[in-house]
Amino acid sequence: MTTLPEVPATTGKDFIRALIEQDLATGRKGNTLHTRFPPEPNGYLHLGHAKSICLNFGVAKEYNGLCNLRFDDTNPLKESQEYVDSIREDVQWLGFDWADREYYASDYFETLYALAEKLIGMGKAYVDSLTAEEIRAYRGNLTVPGKESPYRTRSVEENLDLFRRMRAGEFADGQHVLRAKIDMASPNLVMRDPALYRIRRTTHHRTGDTWCIYPMYDYTHCISDSLEGITHSFCTLEFVNNRALYDWVLETLDLYRSEQTEFARLSITRTVLSKRKLIQLVEEGHVKGWDDPRMPTLSGMRRRGVPPEALRDFCARIGISRAENEVEFSMLEFCIREALNHTAPRGMAVLDPIKVVVENYPEDQEEWFDLPLAPDAPEKGVRRVPFSRELYIERDDFMEIPAKKFHRLAPGQEVRLRCAYYITCKDVQKDAQGNITALICTYDPESRGGGTPDNRKVKGTLHWVSARHAKPVEVRLYDHLFLQDNPEDVEEGKTFLDVLNPDSLRVVTGYTDASILGMTPGERVQFERIGYFCVDKDSTDGTMVLNRTATLKDTWAKIVAKS
């Protein structure tokens, strides 16, 4: 028997997985894949990060490699422990584990500093004393090459002395900066003597006041990757230009060559994902916090009731490529429903009640019906729901003058109450203003359980709640935060805030049976014919609060919309 060389089946895979398989097959980067997820702790993680997390941790898992969690904490002005904590929680919640490989760029400050001195010694870095404005002016622009700083020719000794004194705190913020000596005429602006270190007298959330100089991203990231033995360093497309510097630093310093590969960042219709805009939504009070269920943050979606597997599935479905993209929100919605359909137990609740009086049902009688928790898996058991003479059904499940194809309740029409009885509407009661106050119906005792001996068909099945047993709950109905697909696409003088959806949150009182009250925060339920809901942490002993995670697909609404 002959063993043919393994030909990596790269077809159908995204370009990153194809790259990995090839590298693993050729041994070009060794035999163990090592990636990292490198967030800056300056905000909460959102859907865009989920794509990166699923990529980095995902490929590590698929190819038997490792993925580190590394905080890119080089700018103490914007970073804080609060963000570190939320990030750790969110990555874990998404379902990934970094074991003991939790690193911080700040762990490498001492090494980074030593390597900077080495660069100076090699004549590859110098201390510049130009002001920030001057540096900007000297940089030139897209078409005009930059000019060299007059301080570019300082001796190694002078540079070393100055740099050490920068560290020692002898200078004011902004007085000096350490720059790489590369090429002020490079067509790639990133290579025009980029800053490596700046002076910043700010307390760092981890290193405290140990340092008053902090390394820049471009210098820190590649070295951190290298020190951790990262084989593949994935980042988004806006860093393509920075790759030249990433490679320059590692090559010049003769360090292990981690390799950067870029992919397109995620954008989704009806939402914004830029950190700046997300912060603005929170700070200006357009939402109630980072974990507001309308936010595209992982904490927001978690609170909304979105299961982590839905997000992982979503990331798998959208794929990875280098083309700019804007994924339709419906794709996410599909993944959420798909995950919830299999896992959320069923229940019944009426959100906009109208009373039904079953006039031939004994006033003092009550009975209990079994509602399957999972219609497609009867073995999962049932929910016992009480039935009595007076019930609530949904207001829009009744039409006095039924529209075409409307097969719910209407005068003279018979419908099924889910798992209970068939009822027929006999009369409509109204108040002085003409508002419907109650529907007088009769039931067919033969239809107990929702079917009849004569196998008579009814066209509609309605959800219901026994009025006497109904428990009020606060229901928060969420809708898109923005009115248009692309919230950034606004006319001159307007911003994304001008297209905020004023009805993104509607709070109503819903009615359900007592079994629902036993649920605890985070628990999910599908209210049949309405949608998926999740118990909110705002729930108290007195009132339960439910967040609507997603509606069910509504074919009837579509028919109505068309006519």
Partner RNA sequence: AGGGGUGUAGCCAAGUUGGUAAGGCACCGGGUUUUGGUCCCGUCAUCCGAGGGUUCGAGUCCUUCCGCCCCUGCCA
Residues recognised as catalytic: 40, 265, 275
Nearest to 102, CA basis, from 8, 244, 228: 228
Cβ contacts of residue 180 below 8 Å, gap of 6+?
A: 119, 124, 125, 193, 194, 196, 219, 245, 248, 249
Strand 177-180: give its sheet, edge to edge.
125-128, 177-180, 195-199, 213-215
Between 72 and 292, name the residue whose CB sits nearer to RNA.
Answer: 72
Q: Is 147 in the site for RNA (CB under 7 A)?
A: no
Task: For residue 286, report the phi and psi dihedrals to the nearest 5 degrees.
Answer: -75, -20
- Residue showing tokens 């390394």: 215
Q: Output 195 or 500, the one with its CB closest to RNA.
A: 195
According to CB under 7 A, which residues from 236 to 255 bind RNA? 237-242
**Does 436 engage in binding with RNA (CB under 7 A)?**
no
* Region near RNA per CB under 7 A, out of 84-92, 282-290, 322-330, 503-511: 322-330
Q: Which of residues 503-562 bind RNA (CB under 7 A)?
A: 526, 528-529, 552-556, 558-559, 562
The residue from 376, 379, 431, 491 that contacts RNA (CB under 7 A) is: 376
Q: Please state, in angstroms and as integers, the Cα–Cα distance from residue 457 to each residue in 43, 48, 452, following that order.
A: 56, 49, 9
Asked if residue 95 binds RNA (CB under 7 A), the reply is no
Q: Does position 72 bind RNA by CB under 7 A?
A: yes
Question: C-beta of 538: minimal distance to RNA in Å?
Answer: 26
In sequence order, what DSSP letters do the residues of 436-503 get, joined into one string? EEEEEEEEEGGGTTT--TT----S-EE--EETTT-EEEEEEEE--SBSSS-TT---TT--GGGGB-TT
Sole window of 26-34, 48-56, 141-149, 354-362 interacting with RNA (rule: CB under 7 A) = 141-149
Instruction: Kindly tell me which of 375 and 521 has the beta carbon lying closer to RNA.
Output: 375
Question: Closest distance between RNA and the C-beta of residue 82, in Å?
Answer: 17
Take residue 434 and report the two structure tokens written for it.
């003409």
User: Can you say how many angstroms the Cα of residue 514 is from the centroid of all Cα atoms in its chain?
Assistant: 32
Closest CB to RNA among residues 488, 521: 488
Question: What is the sign of the dihedral through the CA atoms of 297, 267, 342 and 447?
Answer: positive
Minimum CB distance to RNA, residue 477 (Å): 17
C-alpha dihedral sign at 76, 495, 46, 112: negative
From 169-177, 438-446, 495-503, 512-520, span contacting RNA (CB under 7 A): 169-177
Among 28, 32, 78, 111, binds RNA (CB under 7 A): 78
337 binds RNA (CB under 7 A): yes
State which residue, 339 or 505, has the beta carbon closest to RNA. 339
Window 201-230: residues binding RNA (CB under 7 A):
214, 216-218, 221
382-to-151, 221, 378, 392 alpha-carbon distances in Å = 79, 54, 8, 21
Stretch that binds RNA, among 25-33, 444-452, 466-474, 538-546 (CB under 7 A): 444-452
Interaction between residue 418 and RNA (CB under 7 A) = yes
Of 80, 188, 202, 252, the one binding RNA by CB under 7 A? 188
Q: Are 235 and 206 a contacting pair, CB within 8 Å?
A: no
In the complex, least distance from residue 306 CB atom to RNA, rounded to whole angstroms: 16
Task: Please tell me whether residue 18 binds RNA under the rule CB under 7 A.
Answer: yes
Closest approach, Cβ 448 to RNA, in A, equals: 8
Give the number of residues written for the chain.
563
Q: Which is nearer to RNA, 40 or 479 (CB)?
A: 40
Q: Is 139 in the site for RNA (CB under 7 A)?
A: yes
Given 450, 467, 483, 517, the residue binding RNA (CB under 7 A)? 450
Q: Where are the alpha helices (DSSP H) in 344-430?
A: none
> 327, 292, 269, 276: which is closest to 484 by C-alpha?
269
CB of 144 to RNA, least distance (A): 8
| Residue of 2, 3, 26, 143 interacting with RNA (CB under 7 A) | 143
Closest CB 304 distance from RNA, rounded Å: 18
Instruction: For 53-67, give the DSSP string.
Output: HHHHHHHHHHTT-EE
Identified binder of RNA from the candidate list 31, 32, 203, 325, rule CB under 7 A: 325
Structural tokens at position 549: 């995670």
Closest CA to 290 of 308, 275, 305: 275
Region binding RNA by CB under 7 A among candidate stretches 89-97, 153-161, 233-241, 278-286: 233-241
The residues pairing with 481 across neighbouring beta strands, listed in sequence order, are none
CB of 501 to RNA, least distance (A): 19
**Nearest to 123, CA basis, from 150, 98, 152:** 152
For the chain, give percent helix, strand, coil, nearest 5.
Answer: 30, 25, 45
Q: Which of 6, 254, 284, 324 binds RNA (CB under 7 A)?
A: 324
Question: Of 528, 134, 318, 285, whose CA–CA distance to 310 is shortest?
Answer: 318
> Which residues in the 456-475 window bind RNA by CB under 7 A?
460-461
In order of 231, 393, 444, 473, 510, the CA distances from 533 in angstroms are 42, 18, 32, 12, 12
Position 342, amino acid: H
Choose, by CB under 7 A, the member of 111, 341, 429, 495 that binds RNA: 341
How distant is the alpha carbon of residue 164 from its chain centre? 43
User: Quick check: 130 binds RNA (CB under 7 A)?
Assistant: yes
Q: Is 384 near RNA (CB under 7 A)?
A: no
What's the rounded Cα separation, in Å, for the pair 482 and 507? 18
Q: Which is nearer to RNA, 60 or 420 (CB)?
A: 420
- The site for RNA, by CB under 7 A, has a size of 92
3-state secondary structure of 353: strand
Closer to RNA by Cβ: residue 340 or 505: 340
